[in-house]
C-alpha cells in the first residue's frame, strides 16, 4: 500500500485515486494511486526520489494524447508535467519551451515571432516532452529536425543533452525512460503571412482527415515499412468495426475512437483484432504507437 504522507510532504499538489479518464484524450482509465503535479524542478525531483526510494512505479504524463490506461488504473504515481514546465520564450531564431508546453502553443509563439519550421507540428495534440520522447511527427516533419538540445532530470539535477547525443529514430528517441523538463528549438526567420497560411492549411487538412469529434489517442499504430497502417486496416474490411463502444473510425481507419462509453478492454480487444486480421490477410505486422499503462504483460499478449 502506498503511504500518502510521503507524497504530501514532497509535493504541494497531489491527489490520490485520481481517475485517469479525466486526464487522457481517450476519456478512459481507472484511478492512479497517486497523481502529483509538481511545481517546478525541486518538487519534481522530490516526487521522483520518493518513488525510487519506495519502489513505486511512476509515469510522466503530458496531455495524455497517446496513452491507453487500464480500466483498473495504475498502481503507482502519475506525474503531471503540464501544471508547470510550460514556459515558452523566443530569442532570435531559438525557442525554449518547457516539457509541459503544448506543441500548438510553441507553434503559436513561433508564428508571433516570424519563425518558420513548426507549422506541421502545430496540430499534434501533445506536449514538448512527450513529442521528444517519441520523436513525434506529422506531414513529413519530425520534431527531431528542429530540436537543438533537451533538458532532463538526472539524479536530482537538470542536465542538458545536445541533439547529437539524444539518438532519434522513427517514433523513438534516446530520451525514452528519461524525464524531459524542456528543450530548445532552432527555427528560421520567415514571412508571417506565409507561416499563418501554412498553419491554417495543415489545420484544415487535419480536420478533414481525422475524427476529431470523438475521443481517441490519434494514430494507434506506427507506420509499417511498407504502406500505411490505416490503408491496411481499411483494406482488411475493418473500417467501422466496433467492440463495445470502441470503433475503428470510418473517417480514418488508423484511429480507434471512443463513441461514448468505451472501456480500455474494448479498445485493447479491437487493437488485437486489427493486428491479427492484418497479419493474416497481408502478412504485415502492425506495432502500436499508443502507450499502455496499468496493463499486465499477460493482458497485452
Q: What is the pLDDT of residue 1?
A: 64
- The b-or-e profile of 159-198 (16+ CB within 10 A means b, else e) is eebebeebebeebebebeebbbbbbbbbbeebeeeebeeb
Alpha carbons 24 and 233: distance in angstroms, whole number = 24
Domains detected in the chain: 4-80 (3.30.43.10), 88-195 (3.30.465.10), 211-300 (3.90.78.10)
Any idea which residue has 487522457 for its cell?
24
Catalytic residues: 171, 219, 289
Burial of 138 (C-beta count, 10 Å sphere; 0-12/13-18/19+): buried
Q: What is the pLDDT of residue 187?
A: 98
> Cβ(264)–Cβ(28) under 8 Å?
yes
Please spell the DSSP secondary structure of 153-192, one letter per residue. EETTEEEEEEGGGT-EETTEETTTTSEEEEEEEE-EE--H
Q: What is the pLDDT of residue 12?
A: 85
Read off the C-alpha cell for 188.
528560421
Q: What is the pLDDT of residue 4?
A: 80
Q: What is the pLDDT of residue 8?
A: 87
Rounded to the nearest 10°, the torsion over CA 44, 46, 49, 55 is -90
Q: What is the pLDDT of residue 132?
A: 97
pLDDT in tens, 153-171: 999 999 999 999 999 999 9
pTM (2 decimals)?
0.92
Please, what is the average pLDDT of the chain?
95
3-state secondary structure of 130: helix
Residue pLDDT tens, the chain, 301 long: 677 888 988 888 999 999 999 999 999 999 999 999 999 999 999 999 999 999 999 999 999 999 999 999 999 999 999 989 999 999 999 999 999 999 999 999 999 999 999 999 998 999 999 999 999 998 889 999 999 999 999 999 999 999 999 999 999 999 999 999 999 999 999 999 999 999 999 988 888 889 989 999 999 999 998 999 999 999 999 999 999 999 999 999 999 999 999 999 999 999 999 999 999 999 999 999 999 999 999 999 9
3-state secondary structure of 82: coil
3-state secondary structure of 15: strand
Amino acid at each position: 500500500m502506498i503511504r500518502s504522507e510521503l507524497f504530501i510532504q514532497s509535493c504541494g499538489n497531489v491527489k490520490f485515486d485520481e481517475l485517469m479518464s479525466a486526464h487522457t484524450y481517450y476519456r478512459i482509465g481507472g484511478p492512479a494511486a497517486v497523481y502529483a503535479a509538481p511545481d517546478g524542478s525541486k518538487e519534481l525531483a522530490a516526487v521522483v526520489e520518493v518513488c525510487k526510494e519506495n519502489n513505486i512505479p511512476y509515469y510522466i504524463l503530458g496531455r495524455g494524447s497517446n496513452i491507453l490506461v487500464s480500466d483498473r488504473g495504475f498502481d503507482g504515481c502519475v506525474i503531471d508535467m503540464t501544471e508547470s514546465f510550460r514556459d515558452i520564450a523566443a530569442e532570435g531564431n531559438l525557442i525554449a519551451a518547457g516539457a509541459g508546453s503544448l506543441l500548438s502553443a510553441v507553434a503559436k509563439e513561433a508564428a508571433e515571432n516570424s519563425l518558420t519550421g513548426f507549422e506541421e507540428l502545430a496540430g499534434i495534440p501533445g506536449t514538448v516532452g512527450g513529442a521528444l520522447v517519441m520523436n513525434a511527427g506529422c506531414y513529413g516533419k519530425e520534431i527531431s529536425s528542429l530540436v537543438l538540445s533537451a533538458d532532463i532530470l538526472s539524479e536530482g539535477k537538470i542536465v542538458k543533452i545536445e541533439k547529437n547525443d539524444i539518438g532519434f529514430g522513427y517514433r523513438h528517441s534516446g530520451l525514452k525512460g528519461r524525464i524531459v523538463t524542456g528543450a530548445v528549438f532552432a527555427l528560421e526567420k520567415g514571412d508571417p503571412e506565409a507561416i499563418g497560411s501554412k498553419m491554417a492549411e495543415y489545420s484544415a487538412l487535419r480536420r478533414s482527415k481525422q475524427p476529431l469529434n470523438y475521443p481517441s489517442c490519434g494514430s494507434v499504430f506506427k507506420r509499417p515499412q511498407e504502406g500505411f497502417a490505416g490503408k491496411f486496416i481499411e483494406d482488411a474490411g475493418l473500417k467501422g468495426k466496433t467492440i463495445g463502444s470502441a470503433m475503428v473510425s470510418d473517417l480514418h481507419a488508423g484511429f480507434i475512437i471512443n463513441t461514448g462509453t468505451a472501456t480500455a478492454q474494448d479498445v485493447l480487444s479491437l487493437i488485437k483484432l486489427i493486428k491479427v486480421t492484418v497479419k493474416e490477410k497481408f502478412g504485415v505486422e502492425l506495432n502500436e504507437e499508443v502507450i499502455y499503462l496499468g496493463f499486465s504483460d499477460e493482458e497485452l499478449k
